[in-house]
Amino acid sequence: MLLINCPYCGERPELEFVHGGQAHIARPGSPAECSDQQWADYLYRRDNIKGVHAERWRHTHGCGRFFNALRDTTSDQFLATYKIGEQPPVPAQAQPRKATA
């Protein structure tokens, strides 16, 4: 169970949140002008990145707000969370720590 830093409420356990899939996929402004392929891309194509990716979470059992997060899908460590409408911050890579330090 992840520990997620809601930008509005602070750190809360994953149980309070619902994952909202990849972030920054905007619904096309004029769907009628989309080709079938473009519409299918909007609906279904996902980057599915192995590494740092941007995703949406909703603090459903809290403030109810959607927000975005940068998470490394190879370690599940969050690099940042930020509000809807904000640009993703430049990620500072989490440094592994020596077990003995």
73 part of the interface to another protein, by CB under 8 A? yes
User: Minimum distance between the CB of residue 89 and another protein, rounded to whole angstroms?
Assistant: 18
Question: Which residues are CB-neighbours of 23 under 8 A, at least 6 positions away?
Answer: 54, 55, 56, 68, 69, 88
Site string for another protein, 44-63 (x = CB under 8 A): xxxxx-x--x-xx-x-x---
Considering only residues 5 through 34, tell me which ones interact with another protein, judged by CB under 8 A: 13-15, 18-22, 26-28, 30-32, 34
User: Minimum distance between the CB of residue 44 and another protein, rounded to whole angstroms?
Assistant: 4
Q: Give residue 41's region: left, alpha or beta (phi > 0; psi -120 to 50).
A: alpha
Work out the angle at residue 30's Cα, subtended by the Cα atoms of residues 24 and 34, and round it to the nearest 5 degrees: 85
Distance CA 3, CA 57 (A): 12
Q: Which residues bind another protein (CB under 8 A)?
A: 1-3, 13-15, 18-22, 26-28, 30-32, 34, 36-37, 39-48, 50, 53, 55-56, 58, 60, 64-66, 71, 73-77, 84-85, 94, 96-101
